[in-house]
Amino acid sequence: MSSAEEPLISRHSSPSEDHDHPDDGNDNYNDSDIRHDTTTYDGTPPPASPTLFIYLLTLSAGISGLLFGYDTGVISSTLVSIGTSLSARPLTALDKSIITSSTSLLALLISPFSSILADRLGRKRVILLADVLFAVGAAAQACSSSVAGMVAGRAVVGMAVGAASFVVPLYIAELAPAAFRGRLVTMNVIFITLGQVVAYVVGWALGEFGEAATAWRWMVGLGALPAVVQGVVMVVMPETPRWLVMVGRVGEARRVVERVLGGEGEGREVDATVKGIEIEVREESEGRRLRGNGRGVGKAAWLDSAGELLGVRRNRRALAIACLLQGLQQLCGFNSLMYFSATIFTMLGFPIPTLTSLVVAVTNFAFTLVALLLIDRIGRRRILLWSIPFMVVGLILAAYGFSFITLAAVDSTSDKPTAAPAQGAAITILVSIMVYVAGYALGLGNVPWMQSELFALNVRSLGSGIATATNWGANFVIGLTFLLLMDALTPSWTFVLYAGICVVGYGLIWNFYPETAGLSLEEAASLLEDDSWGVR
């Protein structure tokens, strides 16, 4: 579908992809949409300025990113504040690893089901359900008295993250006028990193000024707040017109389209948009019927899409690149810092480790802003090739710093180190971690989320879904193994290992990831036909 034919209210995916793919994460709308979808259904220009409705939509997208960021970031301060409150003993490295990684594991497991639920119940209800899970998970963590209870609370939050990270982008993609869609995905990453900053600030403030025994309960419990706010915003937001048409509620769909278009959406445009959605939905169910699937969650449709994805060379290559980038985003070890920086800075003897660890979140947020200003000008491939060397330098320097210190033993009741390690080395590690995080935020923190521009439309949803699952899978591995690796290999070798992964990743990107910035989807796809994978 060319840009002039793109409905104002966007479609989500092609016929064969809609029901049975795993999570396609943050990529139902992306920056390629900025370039390609700037006109409305009948070719008229998009609304000149955002309507109140668009602001509300932006707010709900923002809160969703904030929640994702808050819940992944807050664990850092929580782990160093729990002391002996869970199961009446200090947390072991294994406890910390399982508490942390249960969230990503459940996010990974739940995301494929959220697409089915989103079709059955509607997008809005699934968002509300995710908000309930966020709130219940936060409360369960706050009230837990054992390690198992805490793991269960984190797992419920993981279900919420998995469902929300699929359905919120879908909701926005189906509601936002095309001209604003690209900006909304950009916002999502900014809000995730902002949510992590908020979590770190809350963790530090409560750890410093709160009641020692209950501070960590407030840290995790406060995660319920944005979920409640989002739930309230969602109550006044409509269901998407595309879903309403899918279930035969065309009149309601029409009223929603009128609302989205605001004053500018008079008669003809509304008609054209609703017609476009109806045609699309009809084509989809027709396609499914022809493949003998009726209206169900077609296994054959899934197989068709999977066959296209793996059977066609350029699709296969797109998938390999998208998974490479998502895998690398996590395996480079960044989230080890996001989850455990307060634990690391405690071991290094910093007096207020939760405050020191704020530099990780703030550097990540600040350089994410810089990246998003630069990325279209510099290009995705180039920004990765420029930034990964900084990550390698940061990691090697940190490894070098760690080689000078014997980590202080941590007093299990106060979680404070029993002896202060060498200060110079600790500062070196702090600075090198900042260099590493800045490099990460400039490239790997963002570029992988632009994955959908690599895929042709008919395999985009499934391809992005698999790549997103790769992200959660690798995130789980990192969360589970970091502290255990620090014990088994020493901190220095753990950081060297991450540096090695970055070097290998750099080589793979150099050889296989072509520059797609500024290209149309067709041009990007045909690059991948080339023997050199379009890199030369």
Residues interacting with ligand INS, by CB under 6 A? 72, 189, 192-193, 196, 329, 335, 338, 364, 445, 449, 475
- 322: number of Cβ within 10 Å: 26
* Per-residue DSSP letter, 417: B
Minimum distance, C-beta of residue 131 to ligand INS, in the bound complex (Å): 21
> How far is C-alpha 142 from the geometric centre of its chain's CA atoms?
24
- Distance, in Å, from the CA atom of 346 to the CA atom of 76, rounded to the nearest integer, reads 11
CA 401 vs CA 2, 225, 340, 407, 489: distances in Å: 54, 39, 18, 11, 15
Minimum distance, C-beta of residue 186 to ligand INS, in the bound complex (Å): 11
Minimum distance, C-beta of residue 326 to ligand INS, in the bound complex (Å): 8
Q: Select the residue whose beta carbon is closest to ligand INS and give its number.
A: 445
The answer to whether 494 and 485 are in contact (CB under 8 A) is yes
Minimum distance, C-beta of residue 110 to ligand INS, in the bound complex (Å): 17
The answer to whether 73 and 361 are in contact (CB under 8 A) is yes
- Distance, in Å, from the CA atom of 341 to the CA atom of 348, rounded to the nearest integer, reads 10
- 39 Cβ contact list (under 8 Å, min separation 6): 3, 4, 6, 45, 46, 178, 179
Minimum distance, C-beta of residue 124 to ligand INS, in the bound complex (Å): 25
Minimum distance, C-beta of residue 470 to ligand INS, in the bound complex (Å): 11
DSSP of 87-153, one letter per residue? TTSPPPHHHHHHHHHHHHHHHHHHHHHHHHHHHHH-HHHHHHHHHHHHHHHHHHHHH--SHHHHHHH
Minimum distance, C-beta of residue 306 to ligand INS, in the bound complex (Å): 25
Q: Which residue(s) pair with 417 in the sheet?
A: 410
* Residue position matching structure tokens 């739940």: 110
- 192 Cβ contact list (under 8 Å, min separation 6): 65, 66, 68, 69, 72
Taking the least distance from each CB to ligand INS, the nearer of 8 and 74 is: 74
Minimum distance, C-beta of residue 236 to ligand INS, in the bound complex (Å): 29
The answer to whether 375 and 446 are in contact (CB under 8 A) is yes
Minimum distance, C-beta of residue 418 to ligand INS, in the bound complex (Å): 31
Taking the least distance from each CB to ligand INS, the nearer of 173 and 338 is: 338
- 286 Cβ contact list (under 8 Å, min separation 6): none
Taking the least distance from each CB to ligand INS, the nearer of 244 and 450 is: 450
Candidates 119, 53, 459, 39; CA nearest to 285 is 119
Minimum distance, C-beta of residue 330 to ligand INS, in the bound complex (Å): 6
Specify whether the backbone of 288 is left (phi greater than 0), alpha (psi in -120 to 50) or beta. alpha
- Distance, in Å, from the CA atom of 495 to the CA atom of 473, rounded to the nearest integer, reads 20
